[in-house]
Amino acid sequence: MSKNKIVLSDTTLTMREASVSDGGSLQQLMIDTATWLKESGSTQWGDILEGKDVHQLRDRIRDGEVFVLCDADEQLAAAFILRKTASEWDAGLWRNQKQVPARYLHRLMIARKYAGQNLSLTLLDWASGESQRTGYDWLRLDCIASNQKLNTLYQVAGFTKCETIEGFCIYEKRTKE
């Protein structure tokens, strides 16, 4: 199976770099995810529901840092941002840690249709592999400290918690041995 093919139940999904034409679908997936988070009692991603885009999605697409997982009809099953450099946000959170070549994962989102099938773990593994393939020794991410489910997910996926800073846990995973 190709590194860009993911089989989920009876469905084969394809991972690819996002294009400008994916912008509308990505925006809708972000809104759907933010709405689901809000309905679940989380304040995460509230900026999206206020019409803000703190991760500058269009710029990330232009820079080849957004990946989408699509079904055979090109409908989005999942997506995430995999930055090649630290954002201002990342630099602030990681200021106490050793600065190493790393990719930074943001906005991991899964369409509700594909939720509950352990797709998150598969996506995190794919992002780690992509980081390694593109010459990065580390994959880093953060999440709000109060989200125990997400913190557990990252630990199960092999990430090491480095620190809690300003209410956020920062994690990293070595991509090369």
Which tens digits make up the pLDDT trace of 105-145?
999 999 999 999 999 999 999 999 999 999 999 999 999 99
With CA atoms as reference, report the closest residue to 44 among 135, 176, 167, 129.
Answer: 167
Mean pLDDT estimate for the chain? 93
Is 174 exposed, middle or buried, given 0-12, 13-18 or 19+ CB atoms closer than 10 A? middle
- Summarize the confidence of residues 146-163 as an average pLDDT: 96
Give me the half-sphere count of Cα atoms (radius 13 Å) on the Cβ side of residue 143.
Answer: 19
Query: What pLDDT sits at residue 163?
Result: 96
How does 120-130 read in b/e, with b if 16+ C-beta sit within 10 Å?
bebbbebbbeb
CATH number of residue 129's parent domain: 3.40.630.30
pLDDT at residue 177, rounded to an integer: 67
The residue segments making up the domain with residue 89 are 5-174
Instruction: Give percent of the chain above pLDDT 70.
Output: 98
Residue 57 Cα distances to 44, 54, 64, 106, angstroms? 17, 8, 11, 11
Number of domains in the chain: 1
pLDDT digits (tens, 9 = 90+) for 75-110: 999 999 999 999 999 999 999 888 889 999 999 999
The tens digit of pLDDT for each residue in 26-53 reads: 999 999 999 999 999 888 899 999 999 8
